[in-house]
Structure 1
Amino acid sequence: MDHSYAIGLVVLGLAVVQSLFGMGILVFGTPTLLLLGIEFSSVLGWLLPSSLAISALQVWGDRRKAAQTPSHLVIRYWSVAVPLLAALSFMLLSHMKASVELWVGLAMLTAAVLRGSDLIRQWLRGFILRHERAYLVLMGAFHGFTNMGGAALAIYSSSVTDNKHAMRALISRYYLLFGSIQIVALVLLQPASLRALGLALAPLSALIYVFLGSWAFERLKASIYERAFTGFIAAYGLALLGKNYLR
């Protein structure tokens, strides 16, 4: 059964979510497309162009608001890039499927609950920052295996900053890194997975960001953004749990 138009609507709808939070197309789109029975490499072909387009625009727009210096970012980028490329190459060449949605869903729901407590949130922040390099290595490998590294990235970004601009700038930079590595690997290892309609959705998603998502982001109060981001994490956890039990 051809789900092309339904997938197109899903991608464009999630473009609004990604415009606000820096993520959305991959973290919600991946379980949705897998539920439809689409093979992992084809899921990447559908989702990556639009995700990459929005991330690139966000990185450019938030370039002066990022909290980290370029030297720090380069160090942290390599901690993610190498394990991501290795894990993704393995997945594409072996045609295996990782099944970790249950555990990630529970982790995200737990994170949403933890964010409601200032004391626990400070503990979680300290824990991640003490083990930051190892956390980023695992995050990269996890994204390569599942395309759902947004789970770990959402927890990481909310642990290192409370500022909505810095948070989205951090997320969009890592998502641009994710997408760039994934699209190159896909072109080299599974070029047939890139579809014309998937590529055509990228400029449409970019227009949604420019004319709707960016406007809404600037008008969100920090307190509302914080609560909405927590709700986003919880919804993502529920989506993954739903996928685990419905398949």
Structure 2
Amino acid sequence: MKKELIGKSVLVVEDDPKIRTLVKIYLTNEGYEVLEADNGIVAQEMIEKYDPCILILDLMLPGKSGEEICRWVRNDLGSMMPVIMLTAKASEKSRIDGFKLGADDYVVKPFSPAELMVRIEAVLRRTASRCGKLTFTGLTIKPAKGEAMVDGEPLDLTNFEFKLLHMFMQHPGQILSRTQILDTIYENNEKAVTERTIDVHIKNLREKIKEKTPKDYIQTVRGMGYKFAAN
């Protein structure tokens, strides 16, 4: 069971104790609750146990690399937890690969701790909807944790279904076209994805929700798309 942390919690994953201590001092001075891990295996354990609000992630780590951890967070956990990569890998390819894995920002060593604090605040502002939770008449989603519930009962959603539900709950009452959904949910212009694929995912999402409640949260707007009924 995850332990709920108070305030703005940050997990710093860094095998260099000097850098880890420096970052911790600045974070603590800014009012953050700081967790630490010095290798990839411990980092995974900390993420599962504490579910921090944001992850500061070195890439060259013992145990498991930062790339493996980021891939695990995004794909296996299905978590949208904000991730800032803090690394000595400075090449353009490394930066691009980091963003493709799902990083929200990429900071190269040596770095300015003051600038890192500003970047953390910027990422948290930009990803505010991915922390905390969204709730509408019994339906709750916790984006950073990758959890969705109906009246407290968990929904077993695929990664795509979770992203769909999150998108709908961010835009209650707003009609979303299939094209908008495609552009937002599916990255890298996946060739196999079509508007029909969206319909299938939404159908499956509806069926899973209706197993828990008769309320029709996701409504079809003929000729236009779909909308989330918040009330």
Q: Quick check: TM above 0.5?
A: no
More helix, by proportion: 1
**Structure index of larger Rg:** 2
Which has the bigger relative contact order, CA under 8 A and spacing at least 6?
1
- TM-score, normalised to structure 1, is 0.23
More strand, by proportion: 2
